[in-house]
Amino acid sequence: MHLIPNDANFDFMRFRRYTFVLSVVLLLIAIGSLAVRGLNFGIDFTGGVLVEVTYPHAADLAQVRHALSGGGFNDAQVQYFGTSEDVMIRLGPRKGKNASEVSNAVLSTLQAKTPGVKLSQVEFVGPQVGSALTEKGSLAVLYALIGILIYVAFRFEWRFASGSVLALFHDVIITLGIFSILQIPFDLTVLAAILAIIGYSINDSIVVGDRIRENFRRMRKGTATGIMNASINQTLSRTVITSFTVLLVVVVLYFLGGSSISSFALCMIIGTIFGTYSSIFVASALALDLGLTRDKLIAPPKPKEGDELP
C-alpha cells in the first residue's frame, strides 16, 4: 500500500513562484525577529541556576511565579517536569551568590507560601561555561553547513548544489525564527535538533537531486520542468513516508516526552516540515530557475580515435 500513487503526476514546478514569495516572506519575518528579539537562550548558554522542587500536591504554576516574583526572582522561568507536583525553576546568574545560596532563597520563598515544598536538585552553569557553549554550538552549525556545502558542490552540478545549500539555510533560519517569535528557550537539546534538521534536509534534497540527474540523462524527450516534476513525483512516496515516520515519533515525544525534551521535539517537527517543503520548492525550484538543463548534467561524449579536433 502506497500513500502516494505510483502514477502521481503533480505539477509542483507550476507553483514555484508562489512558494518563492512564501519562503521570502517567512525568511524576512524570521530574520526580523532574530534581529529584534533574538533567541531566548537557556541557562546552558547564558549561565545561571536550575532549581527543581517537589510540592506536596499539584502545583499551580501561576502561584509559583507570583511567589517568586514577590521574592525578587522576576526572571524565573517555571515549568512542570515529570508530574504536576514537580516544578523546574530556571534563574539567570546572581552576582555574588552561589547555587546553594540561590536555591535556599528560592526554597524559603516558596515555603513561605506553601509549607511542605522540598528541594529535589540544584544545577549551576557558570557564565564562562555558557559563553563557551554558545561559541562551540555556533561553530558546530557553521562547520556542518560548510562540510555539506563542499560535499554537495562535488556531488552535483553547481546550480543544484546552490539550491540545496540555500534550502538548508532556509530551513535553519525559519526554525530559529519561530523559536525567536515564540521565545521558546533555546538550549543544547534544540542545538542538537538543529544539527539533525541539517542532516535530514540535505538527505531529502540529495534523494530528489539524484533522481533528477538520472532522469535528465535517461529521458531524452521533455522539458526541464517536466523532467523535474516527474523526478519529484517518483520520489514523493519515499519522501512522504520518511517525513510521516519522523513526524510520528517527534509528535509523540512532544506530547508525552515531558518538558525536558519538548523543545527538541518541537524543533524537529518544524524542521521536518520545512525540510520536506524545501527539498521540492526551494532546492529543486531554484536549480530550475538558475538554468539547470540536460546539457549541464550530461558530460559531452569523448572524442573517438581519428576524430578531428575542433
- For residue range 146-196, list pLDDT tens digits in order: 887 787 777 777 787 888 888 989 999 999 999 999 988 888 889 889 988
By the 10 Å C-beta count (0-12 exposed, 13-18 middle, 19+ buried), 191 is classed as buried
Strands (E), the chain: 40-41, 48-54, 77-81, 83-91, 118-125, 185-186
For residues 26 and 30, give the distance between their C-alpha atoms in angstroms, rounded to a whole number.
6
Lay out the sheet containing 77-81: strands in order across: 77-81, 83-91, 48-54, 118-125
Q: What confidence tens digit (pLDDT) does each residue in 197-221 have? A: 888 888 888 888 888 888 888 887 7
What pLDDT does 310 receive? 47
Tell me if the pTM is above 0.75: yes
130-164 burial: b if 16+ Cβ within 10 Å, else e? beebbeebeeeeeebbeebbeebeeebbebbbbbb
Share of the chain above pLDDT 90, in %: 27
Across the chain, mean pLDDT equals 84
What pLDDT does 257 receive? 80
The band of 101, judged by pLDDT with boundaries at 50, 70 and 90, is confident
On the question of pLDDT at 24 being above 90, the answer is yes
| Mean pLDDT (whole number) for 258-272 | 88
Say if residues 45 and 137 touch (Cβ distance below 8 Å).
yes
What pLDDT does 278 receive? 92
| Mean pLDDT (whole number) for 119-128 | 78
Q: Is 87 helix (H, G, I), strand (E, B) or coil?
A: strand
Report CA 73 to chain centroid distance, whole Å: 31
HSE at residue 285, side-chain half, CA atoms within 13 A, is 19
More confident residue, 69 or 155: 69
Q: What is the β-pairing status of strands 83-91 and 77-81?
A: antiparallel
By the 10 Å C-beta count (0-12 exposed, 13-18 middle, 19+ buried), 277 is classed as buried
Q: What is the β-pairing status of strands 40-41 and 185-186?
A: parallel
What pLDDT does 187 receive? 83
What pLDDT does 1 receive? 47
What pLDDT does 25 receive? 97
What pLDDT does 306 receive? 53
* End-to-end C-alpha distance for the chain, whole angstroms: 55
The band of 269, judged by pLDDT with boundaries at 50, 70 and 90, is very high
Where do the structural domains in the chain lie, given as residue ranges? 12-40+129-296, 48-125
Say if residues 165 and 279 touch (Cβ distance below 8 Å).
no
Decide if domain 12-40+129-296 falls under CATH 1.20.1640.10: yes
Q: What confidence tens digit (pLDDT) does each residue in 276-292 have? A: 999 889 988 898 888 87
The CATH number of the domain covering residues in 48-125: 3.30.70.3400
